Chain A
């Protein structure tokens, strides 16, 4: 790369980072406005009480469902669902394109739906709003196709960070679930966007954590068993949730088009009826999460809320109502965690910690089981609670929930939704789980015969006659390796140069050599320039551990395919 083109690349990267900051600021402002809009509409539609009065609670979610369905089907068809897959589609299918109309539609319809009591959350829509704003700005700046693709996830991180007031969570989620890889350029932009959006959001709404958690301490080491049980239960409930969506969504979408107008209304009506007894299921439910953390519900109520929220969210989501799954998932997790704690307290009161800790761990558990982003789920809990000491139970519980969910439901929720929608988006989870083959899987053992540079061609030929291979590695006197074929040996011998040393004829293989742990990608690049490459020990480059040629890679590939 010439210095000039290098300077140009550097400038491009710097510009991209500046754009990321601008995207973050606008995403932060949008999320603030989004939250205000949701609250504003909720107060007007449902009133200020946490338990709205009878006519409102039954009528409003249904009526709002009808209006939202009309808006979605007539004006904003791309805003159905949560927004995560739409952002992935922008990255992998539409070259980073998300229309501004989608942004406006998502803002409006999600605010109406969530504010009107549909059982959905604001985080995923915030993610899509951020992505859409970034896409619009990227198009206005006429970024290159590659940059434009990545600007949408950058905006997504900004939107999610502001919605959660948690930049690390947003960065991890976007890397883990949307982009799927860590590259310095993208990571820098994602981090900057997330940080600037959170700073903007905090500027207006303060830096209070999302949840106020009572101080946590592990009451007894045996309590970790209870957290393991919570992980199992969380995995199970996640599984039920995902299966319900997987089964019901395509069936409802298969119904005649005119029913699509009614589906969110019917969902809203049913949620309204449920809310007569359980008003906590309306909307995102953060107040109820706070109450669960502060021991305000008995174990029966906690279980009931978990089940009803699961059903309500399924209904809202499969009906095509715009809105997110993050908050309802956290809600269910908090209730489940609280229930486990409350029951444990009855069984073993002496070894039970505070309920807030269980609710918090439960949230991470459901997040890991449902959304299948295990890293994000751990850091999210630490970040939203600003409580590091909870990390051990969170890790245990989340891992178990993730494994249970993955074992019993191979395709994750977002991948499932994408397949139902007929798009083949890459599954980050599958990519993470795919077995990574390395050089050591493909390399062959070192040839039985290694020649030395100090040997003469005649001596080399004599030794070569003892084996049947055609290509020999030569260890050169000056260090390093070279190769010589049987035919070359014979040709030089015939031209009466048999007394000459191999050192003078063998061309050294240029470094770098391969190491056993290197990826196939690296091996391919190295083998592009030479027919065969020595595989050496990392601590001792003179020690040959194997040899690799292109046909070795092909052989491995074929064997994998056949398997």
Chain B
């Protein structure tokens, strides 16, 4: 082999190194066009997928797969592909795509939310809760607050549907402070709080809605119902009245309105009630109690104990027949004695006396303990 001197070799190496500059430039030119072309193809196929997604998700899947073959780094297209797969009822494949995205960006809120929904759909509550939390804490490119709220609401619903109301409550309570001035949304959260067993928190939300829109019948009704169950009949009556003026109330709410009305008009222990008015209410209560006892006596198939109790009550009621408004105004003990008989009559089980009137139910509530609270 011919000998090559160090200078010749250095020169050749120098030329080889220098030649890398035009080689790089040429390759750069080629690659730039190549990448642009691939990018254009990725965008084109992605758009095609977007167009197909609504009508033919299976075709959209192929389109997004093609888009990804030209731009595997395009995370948006992978997410679109996952959504297309979900729409095409191929959740397992969608999950695999989402897990890839998750592996690359574990803090991506959108990916976590999609994974959470898929896991929830599979009944995998532990994973779903983990992904929901990651979605709530994760990064969102746009609409972060709304998306986080959506994730938390989904999570709360999931927890409730799996018998974990306390955990659901915690999620909902965490939502309260960040709720926007959106009556429908606040009402929904309030409703969820009631379902999760935190009605006292829900009332605050309904109040907020009514401040925003005093004509909101739904919020007024829900507030009235919660107040009724909490024993605040004055507020319940006010809110249910307000709701009834805007929209027809459903059966329960209608009933609550009637009963709360009666409670307010019949309650002899109502605050700031004059002695005369109290006496009138006691006499009215005695009339209602007598009517109930008559119904009880007319109801067949009592056991011996109930019959004996009804007989005793009849005797006690008969003893109150001579009471006058004046006597009741003067003697508070007479009031207490009369009401004791009334309450005992109203405490007889409904099964023993047939259908109860709203007056009877109101008196039973006044007699306490409140039936709603004992349920």
A-contacting residues, B5-31, CB 8 Å: 9, 12-13, 16-17, 20, 23-24, 27-28, 30-31
Determine whether A15 belongs to the interface, using a CB cutoff of 8 Å to chain B.
yes
| Distance in angstroms between the alpha carbons of A48 and B41 in the assembled complex | 7
Least distance between B186 CB and chain A CB atoms (Å): 38
B:207-260 near A, CB below 8 Å: none
Interface string of A1-35 (1 = CB under 8 A from B): 00000000000000100110010011001001100
Find B45's partner among A32, A48, A140, A354 (CB 8 Å cutoff): A48
B16 & A36 in contact (Cβ 8 Å cutoff): no
* Complex contacts, A49 vs chain B, CB 8 Å: 66
Given A29-B20, A213-B100, 9 additional A-B pairs, CB 8 A: A15-B9, A33-B27, A50-B66, A137-B16, A142-B1, A142-B3, A214-B103, A294-B97, A294-B100
Given contacts A50-B65, A287-B69, contact A32 B1 (CB under 8 A): no
For residue B265, CB closer than 8 A to chain A, the reply is no
Smallest beta-carbon distance A36→chain B, Å: 5
Chain A residues, Cβ within 8 Å of B12: 140-141
The proximity string for B residues 56-79 relative to A, scoring 1 for CB distances below 8 Å and 0 otherwise, is 000000100110111011000000
Q: In the complex the two chains form, what is the Cα distance from A285 to B30 in whole Å?
A: 23
A positions within 8 Å CB-CB of B: 15, 18-19, 22, 25-26, 29, 32-33, 36, 39-40, 43, 48-51, 137, 140-142, 144-145, 204-206, 208, 212-215, 287, 290-291, 293-296, 354-356
A145 touches B1 (CB 8 A): yes
Are B28 and A142 in touch, CB under 8 angstroms?
no
CA distance A15 to B34 in the complex (A): 35
- Chain B residues closer than 8 Å to A140, beta-carbon distance: 12, 16
B13 pairs with A294, CB closer than 8 A: no
Q: Which residues of A contact B41 (CB under 8 A)?
A: 43, 48
For this complex, 16 residue pairs linking A to B, each with C-beta atoms less than 8 Å apart, are A15-B9, A15-B13, A19-B13, A36-B31, A43-B37, A48-B44, A48-B45, A49-B66, A142-B9, A208-B72, A212-B100, A212-B104, A214-B100, A294-B97, A295-B95, A296-B65
Q: Which residues of chain B come closer than 8 Å to A214, judged between CB atoms?
A: 96, 99-100, 102-103
Query: Could you tell me the distance between the alpha carbons of A90 and B23 in the complex, rounded to whole angstroms?
Result: 26
Contact indicator B65/A29 (Cβ below 8 Å): no
Question: Taking the nearest CB of chain B, how far is it from the CB of A341, in angstroms?
Answer: 11
Chain B residues with CB under 8 Å of chain A are 1-4, 9, 12-13, 16-17, 20, 23-24, 27-28, 30-31, 34, 37-38, 41, 44-45, 62, 65-66, 68-70, 72-73, 92-93, 95-97, 99-100, 102-104
* Contact indicator B34/A36 (Cβ below 8 Å): yes
What is the CA–CA distance of A417 and B31 in the complex, to the nearest angstrom?
A: 35
With a cutoff of 8 Å between Cβ atoms, the chain A residues found around residue B31 in the complex are: 32, 36, 204-205
Question: Which residues in B have their C-beta under 8 angstroms from that of A40?
Answer: 34
CB of A114 to closest CB in B, whole Å: 15
**Shortest distance between the CB of B140 and any CB in chain A (Å):** 21
User: Is the Cβ of B99 less than 8 Å from the Cβ of A36?
Assistant: no
Say whether A29 contacts B23, CB under 8 Å: yes
Q: A295 and B103: CB pair below 8 A?
A: no
Asked if A356 and B96 sit within 8 Å, CB to CB, the answer is: yes
User: Roughly how many angstroms separate A293 CA and B96 CA in the complex, as a whole number?
Assistant: 8
Name the A residues within 8 Å of B102 (CB-CB): 214-215
- Least CB separation from B92: chain A residue: A295
Would you call B9 and A22 a contact (CB within 8 A)? no
**Chain A contacts of B44 at CB under 8 A?**
48
A290 to B77, CA, bound (A): 14
Known A22-B13, A48-B41; judge A215-B66 contact (CB<8 A). no
Q: Roughly how many angstroms separate A477 CA and B123 CA in the complex, as a whole number? A: 84
Contact of A50 with B69 in the complex, beta carbons under 8 Å: yes
Q: In the assembled complex, which residues on chain A have CB atoms less than 8 Å from the CB atom of B9?
A: 15, 141-142
Query: Are A294 and B96 in touch, CB under 8 angstroms?
Result: yes
Structural contact, B1 and A354, CB atoms closer than 8 A: no
Which of A15, A29, A291 lies in contact with B27, CB distance below 8 A? A29
Write out the residue numbers on chain B whose beta carbons fall within 8 Å of the beta carbon of A293: 96
Contact call B96/A22, Cβ cutoff below 8 A: no
From the candidates A15, A33, A204, A295, name the one contacting B93 in the complex (CB within 8 A): A295
Closest-by-CB residue of A relative to B34 is A36
CA A197 – CA B179 in complex, angstroms?
Answer: 55
Q: Which of A50, A145, A355 has the most CB of B within 10 A?
A: A50
- Which 3 A/B pairs are nearest by Cβ-Cβ distance? A295-B96, A214-B99, A142-B4
The residue on B at minimum CB distance from A204 is B31
Q: How many angstroms between the C-alpha atoms of A404 and B12 in the bound complex?
A: 50
In the complex, chain A residues whose CB is within 8 Å of the CB of B68: 287, 290
Q: Find A33's partner among B30, B70, B92 (CB 8 Å cutoff).
A: B30
The answer to whether A355 touches B96 (Cβ under 8 A) is: yes
- Whether the pair B66, A48 counts as a contact (CB closer than 8 A) is yes
B97 touches A213 (CB 8 A): no
B99 near A354 with CB under 8 A, answer yes
Partner of B73, one of A15, A206, A215, A356: A206
Residues of A within 8 A of B28 (CB): 204
> CA A145 – CA B37 in complex, angstroms?
45
Provide the bound-state CA to CA distance between A356 and B24, in Å.
36
User: Are A51 and B62 in contact, with the CB atoms below 8 A?
Assistant: yes
Chain A nearest CB, measured from B130 CB (Å): 13
Which A residues touch B100, using CB under 8 A?
212-214, 294, 356
- Chain B minimum-CB-distance residue to A40: B34
B20 in contact with A25 (CB, 8 Å): yes
Q: Which chain A residue has the least Cβ–Cβ distance from B69?
A: A287
Among B3, B45, B93, the one with the most A-chain Cβ atoms within 10 Å of its Cβ is: B93
For residue A36, which residues in chain B have a CB less than 8 angstroms away from its CB? 30-31, 34
The answer to whether A287 touches B93 (Cβ under 8 A) is: no
A290–B20 contact, CB under 8 A?
no
By a CB distance below 8 angstroms, the chain B residues around A213 are 100, 103
- Taking the nearest CB of chain B, how far is it from the CB of A189, in angstroms? 14
Chain A hits for B99, CB < 8 A: 214-215, 354, 356
Distance (Å) between the CB of B29 and the closest chain A CB? 11
Cβ contacts under 8 Å, B37 to chain A: 43
Q: How far is the CA of A25 from the CA of B17 in the complex (A)?
A: 9
| CA–CA, A293 and B100, complex, Å | 10
| Chain A residue contacts of B24, Cβ below 8 A | 29
Smallest beta-carbon distance A48→chain B, Å: 5
Query: In the complex, which of the residues B66, B69, B95 has the most CB atoms of chain A within 10 Å of its own CB atom?
Result: B69
| Inter-subunit contact B95/A50 (CB<8 Å) | no
Q: How far is the CA of A164 from the CA of B65 in the complex (A)?
A: 22
Query: Do A32 and B27 contact each other (CB < 8 Å), given the known contacts A19-B13, A208-B73, A213-B103?
Result: yes
Say how far B307's CB is from chain A's closest CB, in angstroms: 63
Complex formed: what's the CA distance from A144 to B4 in Å?
10
Q: Is the CB of A22 within 8 A of B65?
A: no
Q: Which of A15, A36, A208 is the most central at the interface, judged by chain B CB atoms within 10 Å of its CB? A: A36
- Interchain CA distance A213-B72 in the complex, whole Å: 12
Distance of A36 Cα from B37 Cα, bound (Å):
11
Q: Which of A39, A51, A144, A206 contacts B34 (CB 8 A)?
A: A39
Verify A290–B13 contact, CB threshold 8 A.
no
Q: How far is the CA of A180 from the CA of B265 in the complex (A)?
A: 103
CB neighbours (8 Å) of B104 from chain A are 212
